[in-house]
Amino acid sequence: MLLPLERSGTKKPKPDYKALLAGQPLFSSLSSEEIARITQNVREIRPQKGEILFNKGDECRGLHILLSGLVKLFCISPRGQEKVVEIIHPGHMFGEALMFLGRPYIVSSQALADSWVLYFPKSTIFEELERRPELARKMLASLSMRLHQLISDIENYSLHSGKKRVIGYLLREISDESLPTEDHACTIRFSISKNVIASHLNMTQEHFSRILHELADLGLISVHGREIHVPDIRRLQQYED
């Protein structure tokens, strides 16, 4: 299911797609002419938090690139439990694998925050792939990186304890906004709910919260609502069960 391009009758000016896509690894080497060609049929989607971009079983007719916000890919078990398969961050594309296979979506997609998504129809992508083999190589590289991350996640779920999974997630969340200080401390702010994080880590929300408190009791972190303060990143990295 695709969301409408506009929410009102006011037509917005066309964005500068060259500037928007310049920082995207997939399109960074394309010229202005090539960007114009590949974006001639692009659709802007502005889902609000909680809105569905597509459902499992919908036909996949193109690929998405998230420019801002957060999106989750998830599925529902026969018992009605939600499993978060992947959390998409800005700059990443999604839906491309099934576009190439010509199969319907095997997961659903929902915005975790007000987001900005570009949707590229399959026909436009395929035409440009014939012109630019380099674009195909970049798409393969992106797919390979995501596959590697998914395999790594599966390995973590299977072989690592709950504490190690949570620690791994916290270490991955250390970003430019939470760079460590000279004393190797930093603060992480969760941009998504603990329930979504727990599902992504293959545990219940109660289990996730309990592990956070256990890590706090060990002095590895302190919890302040959605903010997690790490007094010494090295201690967290070196922790062993």
Q: What percent of the chain has pLDDT over 70?
A: 87
pTM: predicted TM-score of the whole model, two decimal places: 0.75
Sheet strands side by side (includes 43-45): 43-45, 116-121, 62-68, 93-94
Give me the phi and psi of 119, to 5 degrees please. -115, 120
Q: Please check the confidence at residue 108 and state whether its pLDDT lies above 80.
A: yes
Distance CA 200, CA 74 (A): 9
Q: What is the pLDDT of residues 202-218, one digit of tens each?
A: 899 999 999 999 999 99
Strand partners of residue 45: 117
Q: Cα 223 to the chain's mean position, in Å?
A: 24
Distance CA 15, CA 30 (A): 17
Distance CA 61, CA 95 (A): 9
208 burial level (CB within 10 Å; 0-12, 13-18, 19+): buried
Q: What is the pLDDT of residues 16-31, one digit of tens each?
A: 877 777 667 677 777 7
Q: Give the residue from 70, 52, 75, 51 showing the smallest Cα distance to 202.
A: 75
What SS3 class is residue 14? coil
194 vs 136 pLDDT, higher one: 194
Distance CA 45, CA 101 (A): 23
Q: Which two tokens stand for residue 174?
A: 């250390």
Domains of the chain: 17-158 (2.60.120.10), 161-238 (1.10.10.10)
What SS3 class is residue 24? coil
